[in-house]
Chains A and B, each alone.
Chain A
């Protein structure tokens, strides 16, 4: 494997990735959610740039939209893009989290959330994982027809239905379903032996930093859009301008 381009702290993940999302066109509040999702990914020992860069590009290149409508249909709440474009997961993720938060007190556990035509399904799981609110199964079918699922539990624990730590970056969109599950499912036969992430991963990453590889320039490029070019005038008006030590 190549050497990482940079090793970041969680604080830097929040700083750069939140602003990268703003640079890609996300309002700041949604960008904060994206920053939190990126930390959740990083805490699993995964490269958040590799996993999120395409979602930012999809939004920036107008392949995905932030425009959506949400309807309730019996037990199902459906979020779908308002037009033909695929729905940006950067919008769908926070919407799903809001649905979870709002339903927290609801005793009816049969209700579920569907996000249609979502551009990067795994990021929806990342948003739910970062929320750290109960146990949820987030599932979708990949482009080859395989059912993918992520199981999130409290205390930073989560599992994937696939065996490797590779996160598939889908080239086509998918419908994603989110449903509440019993916390005991985490130890059930169905999920036994699956790739598992825990608080231990987070502690390890705190000791080593977050390794970020080839996609880092993409994140940094979006981030840079939030910076203001320096001019002679702005330099003069900055703190401490013109000061040479005289004391």
Chain B
């Protein structure tokens, strides 16, 4: 076994509780989220940032190269910005042009590299890339905000922060591809490097560098427009600007296809929570930090506004939860007794919505960096699913009964229990979520319906009267090889499976997206349908020249900066 088995221990929330879609769809970023661990590393290792090239015209179009020097290596963001027709600007995978297209390059690119990429990067999925490129991505402007900021800065004024807060970013990415997509470097190439070993670190480094670029871009255009009158963005406003992202169904299959990785993510978070609630006493420092974050979270939630009615209702309830929490916390009697953090969690579980509970988890981890930050180093894996052919069928059946009761309890003979199916469209391989009884293509279904496949496997095992080996079973019934391999592997990893039916008629893919994006460190979830959401990344995070500040790791729950008058 290449990876040690770590199971949920006493004091941890159970997989039955945590791995349900409704709770997963209520997730918040934590200090273990990947953006947070990236900025901590940048700060700790004192990464150096360098603008190597900025050949951009007065309208903001051109080529730029921004580099980051880590202790051992340099990575470069190569960005191409172009003029595009407004009607061509769409966030969908099927788009063909974007305001900005970019790569994260392994090292410093030569002129030949930039020339090669200039012919491919703007074409995105239609281009081809090499293992020198670690990431391929693109972004579109928030036209309203970009123009507003350019206009204000060129006239020597700061942008209106309320307006700025209503969007939160100058540009939003619509796809960020890594791990060997379109010829880019495989994860294996970088998986042993300390700075890129963690999950999604190169993808998020790309986004981080791009955020820096967008701020410099808007200042550049404003300067050329306003001349001597123009000013730079106030550093606090710059810091508040994140990068938007539109995320659709592409992320959902990832969660199903990487069960051990997902286990490690959740295990880290749940271990962190269990460490915190096991503390019998608290220090004045942690209490003070917690109080500070609670107040900031209350303001953050108050500033989180979306059009989606369901999410709006959930935000309103979370605001109520946090106000209730604030009152509870203001009662000194509650703070005097031992096991404060455990009582906080119990209070949340007894009184709050799922979003309120998950926000509480995030808050509890926040002041306890020294206790939990080491767990971020275990949120990756090299484990793949493996078949154990020597196991007896009776043993396999016992595993199913023990670990997959959630699936065996679903009656998949009911048509609504498998109304949905996941497939790849021939159009740019866009993942889609079909209706089995209305849409074509169910026979090309992706093998993601774990619950249903487990149900069918159990039924097949029951039909076999002799206790044969699993090897013999899958030889006779090769259609079960895939699910048997998965079952045999994931039973060792209790947080690996989503314990819900992802092909149910009522299934909401948005829950999967939020879960994954929260682990990335995203905030301000803004669902646009059940199939996709907008988010903000790195909002509040220090910019490259702001890491010297003592509190550079304290950027959770960003709030609107106070605008100076005059």
Seen from chain A, the residues whose Cβ lies within 8 Å of a Cβ on chain B are 6-12, 27-30, 32-33, 66, 68, 70, 91, 94-95, 98-99, 101-102, 105, 206-209, 224-231, 233-235, 237-241, 243-247
- Cβ contact within 8 Å between B440 and A228: yes
User: In the complex where A238-B249, A245-B140 touch, is A227 in contact with B481 (Cβ < 8 A)?
Assistant: no
- Cβ contact within 8 Å between B180 and A98: no
- Cβ contact within 8 Å between B482 and A29: yes
Chain B minimum-CB-distance residue to A31: B482
- Cβ contact within 8 Å between B91 and A7: no
- Cβ contact within 8 Å between A9 and B183: yes
User: In the complex where A234-B434, A239-B532 touch, is A11 in contact with B179 (Cβ < 8 A)?
Assistant: yes
Q: Which residues of B contact A10 (CB under 8 A)?
A: 180, 186, 188
Cα distance A30–B480 in the bound complex, in angstroms: 9
- Cβ contact within 8 Å between B92 and A241: yes
Q: Which residues of A contact B426 (CB under 8 A)?
A: 224, 227-230
Cα distance A70–B389 in the bound complex, in angstroms: 14
Binary A-proximity of B181-200 (CB < 8 A = 1, otherwise 0): 11111111100000000000
Cα distance A246–B421 in the bound complex, in angstroms: 31
User: In the complex where A12-B180, A206-B131, A224-B426 touch, is A229 in contact with B440 (Cβ < 8 A)?
Assistant: yes
- Cβ contact within 8 Å between A29 and B480: yes
- B524–chain A nearest beta-carbon distance, Å: 12
- B133–chain A nearest beta-carbon distance, Å: 10
- Cβ contact within 8 Å between A228 and B183: no
Binary A-proximity of B462-502 (CB < 8 A = 1, otherwise 0): 00000001011011001111111100000000000000000
- Cβ contact within 8 Å between B186 and A247: no
Cα distance A226–B528 in the bound complex, in angstroms: 29
Cα distance A226–B311 in the bound complex, in angstroms: 35
Cα distance A239–B531 in the bound complex, in angstroms: 5
- A35–chain B nearest beta-carbon distance, Å: 11
Partner of A99, one of B128, B186, B471: B471
Cα distance A230–B184 in the bound complex, in angstroms: 27
Partner of A231, one of B131, B140, B440, B474: B440
- Cβ contact within 8 Å between A245 and B90: yes
- Cβ contact within 8 Å between B183 and A209: yes
Q: Which residues of B contact A239 (CB under 8 A)?
A: 92-93, 248-250, 430, 432, 529, 531-532
User: In the complex where A227-B424, A235-B94, A239-B532 touch, is A11 in contact with B186 (Cβ < 8 A)?
Assistant: yes
- Cβ contact within 8 Å between A240 and B388: no
- Cβ contact within 8 Å between A9 and B185: yes
Does B387 touch A at the CB level, under 8 Å? yes
- Cβ contact within 8 Å between B389 and A247: no
Does B503 touch A at the CB level, under 8 Å? no
Chain B minimum-CB-distance residue to A19: B424
Binary A-proximity of B209-250 (CB < 8 A = 1, otherwise 0): 000000000000000000000000000000000001010111
Q: Which residues of A contact B565 (CB under 8 A)?
A: none
Partner of B91, one of A11, A101, A245: A245
- Cβ contact within 8 Å between B444 and A228: yes
- Cβ contact within 8 Å between A11 and B181: yes
Chain A minimum-CB-distance residue to B530: A239
